[in-house]
Amino acid sequence: MVKESQLSERLRDKRAIVTGGSRGIGAAIAEAFVMEGASVAIIHSNDHVRAEQTLAMLKEVDEKCLVLDCDISDPQQVRNGFDVVQSQFGRIDILVNCAAVGGGSRFEDATLDDWNRVLGVNLTGAFLMSRSCYPTMKKNKWGRIINISSQWAFSGWFEAAAYFASKAGLIGLTRSLAVEAAPFGVLVNCIAPGATLTDALRSCTPEYLARLLPKIPLGRFGMPEEIAPTAVLLASEAGAYYVGQTLSPNGGDVLR
């Protein structure tokens, strides 16, 4: 955790929700937000140990931070979770839709249950969370919704049709909601990271990684903390002219 003397205040007094905030990119964004002055609620699904570890780190800076176990593909759980966070925070200024599950199988082997599970969390979950947070943001004439997609939403990859369909869908959701929300001071944008060293990437086979790494001009995978500054930009007043955009920190992956 960064020392208090190193903290900034670009998000001073803001209240944020980060889904998938117990680990990886979500945890890095939650930490960056807290370091910028925001209070953060991290939402996870059955990831209690990592969630409590991340929460303990956040509370070193802001005791108001909290954690919530919630299946964001379930409308009732989303409603209940939103009510809990809003009752403690008073309002929600920033939502980061980062929660995601993968689906690694050949297209012809994928089942409808596989498809629905991935789309339910990755895309429908972002819709449900945004639908819960947006009305209050609209009423307050200020808000930020940031969807976490993937660079591969533009190019696809092997054996992950449901996953990348969901990530491409997030870009479409971002653009559509951005048009509706911008006149009310609610800015909706997207981040599409390249290959980032999270647990999901670490679980891939050496052969898979060997095919992937040569595509990146920097010659290395990204780190979660290298994605988080883009979220800070879009959440802060420095990003006040970004509407419906997809920013892609990817190490140059798109160049090859």
Q: How many domains does the chain have?
A: 1
Contact between residue 220 and residue 251 where contact means Cβ atoms under 8 Å apart: yes
Structure confidence at residue 7 (pLDDT):
66
d(CA 174, CA 192): 12
User: Is residue 131, in this structure, part of any structural domain at all?
Assistant: yes
Q: Is the pLDDT of residue 43 over 80?
A: yes
| Residue 247 domain boundaries | 11-255
Q: Return the CATH number at 168.
A: 3.40.50.720
What pLDDT, on a 0 to 100 scale, did the predictor assign at position 104?
67
* pLDDT tens by residue, 152-186: 898 876 678 899 999 999 999 999 999 999 999 99
Has residue 251 been placed in a domain? yes
Q: Is residue 81 predicted with pLDDT exceeding 70?
A: yes
The pLDDT of residue 218 is above 70: yes
Output 173 or 214, whichever has higher pLDDT.
173
CA distance 219 to 222: 10
Whether 212 maps to a domain, the answer reads: yes
pLDDT category, 120, cuts 50, 70, 90? very high
Evaluate whether residue 6 is within a structural domain.
no
Catalogue the active-site residues: 163
The mean pLDDT of 76-87, rounded to a whole number, is 97
Residues 48-65 have pLDDT tens digits of 999 999 999 999 999 999
Is 1 among the domain residues?
no
State yes or no: pLDDT of 199 exceeds 90. Answer: no
Using CA atoms, how far apart are residues 243 and 233, in angstroms rounded to an integer?
A: 12
Convert the pLDDT of each residue in 91-114 to its tens digit.
999 999 999 998 767 888 889 999
pLDDT of 2 over the 50 cut: no
Q: What is the mean pLDDT of the chain?
A: 93
Count of alpha carbons within 13 Å of 123, Cβ hemisphere only? Answer: 19
143 in any annotated domain: yes
pLDDT at 5 over 50: no
Number of C-beta neighbours around residue 49 at 10 A:
9
Q: How high is the pLDDT of residue 198?
A: 86
**Cβ pair 65, 27 in contact under 8 A:** no
CA distance 62 to 58: 6
Asked whether residue 45 is domain-assigned, the answer is yes
> Which of the four pLDDT bands, split at 50, 70 and 90, describes residue 40?
very high
pTM of this prediction?
A: 0.94
- In a domain, residue 181? The reply is yes
CA distance 129 to 42: 13
Note the pLDDT of residue 6.
56
